[in-house]
Each structure stands twice: as structure tokens, then as C-alpha cells.
Structure 1
């Protein structure tokens, strides 16, 4: 029997659930980030195969307010997320609903209830992804979907080999090749990245890989410079 992932506290009003995500035999993980706003409502960032026990544990943290998938190709567990939390708004990029077969709402403009505790920005210039970055202002945490991966050298050999193909030799952190190849308007893409780098953050949680607990801004900038986007 597969062990249930645990809800890990990251900071005040911020939690992470790290699910396995097998691709070609390698585990690229699927991070679900949970943010509790001052209202007590929860943002559940990224969907996963939520069990009844995990769903109940999430509800113990607060009132589920929104599901969110931040990129068009993040539909793997959309149906499971909708089933676990059927009565709350599901936020996603334009075009996501056509992929998953049920209605979703746009992430931007952000819900008024977020009240500047959460700031959202769609990363322009990559229309096949429409990736969206979030800033949790109180904890100074940048929440990303696939802009960067962050895996270190202690991964199993097969995972390391796949990362070298999908991301490159430097992936702690690194910009995945699909992100690089998906940029159609480099000026617009770089402009969005410049805006993100002006945000006040230190920690980064990304959709795949380990949390960057500190010095996140300089590490993100270095990864973007290596990809020639900064």
C-alpha cells in the first residue's frame, strides 16, 4: 500500500503536500501548496489524487476557498481535485476548462477576498503554457508551477538522467527545456520575469522539486540568467 503524503508546515499559514509523480519511471513529484488567508479560507494550489483522509486533513486547516492549477499542462489530477472539493471555485488559465471538460474561472483578476495577501501574475509570452506566478505576501513566498524545477544531486540515477534531459545539467534550480521552447515573445516573457523579481520574496515553492527556503530571489535570477532570460 502506498503511504499517504503528509501535510508539512512551511511557514505561518503555509503548508506543502509532496505527492509522487512518476514520469518514464522517474519521480518528479507534484507539490500541492496550501495557503490560509486571514479570513480563514484556503487556497489549494495544484491538484493531486487527494484521498478522503488528506481531504479531511486539509479541511482541518481552514475553509477550502479555491482550487488553482497555474498552467495549462497541469491537468493530470484536475478531475481528482474537482471531486475532492466539488463546491469551491476552480481557478486556472484561459483554455484549461476545454482540456479538463468542466468549467473553471480565470486566475486573473485575482479574487477580491485575497485582499493583497496573494498577488498573481500570468507570465506573458508563452501562450501554450500561460503559467501564473503567485506571491504570498505575509510569508514572502513565491509560488511557481513550472518556471523552474529544483532537484539536487542526491536523486536516484534514473531521475537524475531524466532531469538532465528535461532541464539540463544544472537543475538546483533550473529552467525546464519545455519552458524555454515555449517562449514565443521573449520581450514579453522577460518583462514578466522582471516584475516577479521586483516582488519581495525569499522562499520559493515550485510545482516540482524541493522548496528553496532562503535566498530564493538570487537563486531564481541565477537560473533565469543561465537560461538567458535575465
Structure 2
């Protein structure tokens, strides 16, 4: 059995016991993590498609270790301008091992019911129902840009790593946050971000605003 699943903003084809390198996850080493945005499951000749995700399907994995990828050199040059800039980048990654693929509640793909004309219409209704949970998921995400020092690029990077709410950010350690946003250009001070997020999660906006007026780019 294999599955195509979205992990940290990228799609992977995975099988049981397979090791995969993904963008840095907020989960600690040795702990288990699950991904429910499963797009396809294949088991021999049987293939199940999602619309876009398969309802009830899940891929479970275990975080083996956190590491950095190979260095990538980015060199920019402008002819006759004397402009040369050389930067290096190492992507923050997590190595995980796939422990299981669960397909409970999954609905069969449309090609299995080609002989029945009424079936495609019946499948259109579950697809519409599946779209509703996706809206709920985005509604639960918080605007991380309200934290002093976090811009649009950093906010999207944190969401891809699994930190989508103020509560998630409040639980993260500054060192782990720095590793996640290592690829974002600039000098970012993450020391106060979890404390700011905790105030935001508790709805203490007046206290947070007063403190942010004293901060400079997230630095006390």
C-alpha cells in the first residue's frame, strides 16, 4: 500500500517503513506525528482518490531527527555594475519514518463506477461536503503577523512547519523557531515571540500592544 500525502507544504509518495526528508516540523525527535491531508491511496489494483483529500484517511509517522540539508550557494551578479552578492543557505529538515497508512472512511475513485451514470452526481455531493472542513481549518489559523517581528514570509514558513496558531507558537522554543525560519533572509530575534503569542492566545491584546510598543523587531 502506498499513499500521496501533503507534509509541510509538499506532496510525497510514501509507503510503510519508508524514510522521508521533509521541511522542519515542530514535533520533537522521537515523537509520533500524523498527517490527514491524504490525496491518494493505492493498494494493488485498488486506487482511492480524494476530493481533494480522502475523508478519514491518515498517514502516521515518527520523527527520527532534525537536521540541515546540503549548502546551496546563491550568487548574483550584474554586468558592468560591479555588483556581486554571494549567499549560502542550508534548509532546515526533519527525517521521518512512515509507520502506517490508514484508509478508513475513504471513498472510491470515480473510474470504479463508470457503468452507472447517476454515480458521478452522487460523488459530487461528498466533494462539496469535504470542502467545508477545509474552510474550518483555515478559519482556525491565527494571523501570526500580529506578533512583533513576524512578516508575511516568516508567517507562511511557520504555517508550513505546523505552527499555525498563537497557541502553537507559544509552545515553541525560540531556538526551534530560529531553525525553522533559517532560510528567510534577515536577522530575526525570536526570543519574545512565544511570550507575545501566549498573550495573543489568551486575548490580552491591550497588554500585548503595550509591550509591543517597547519592542524593536521582536527584540526587547
Q: Give the TM-score taking structure 1 as reference length.
A: 0.24
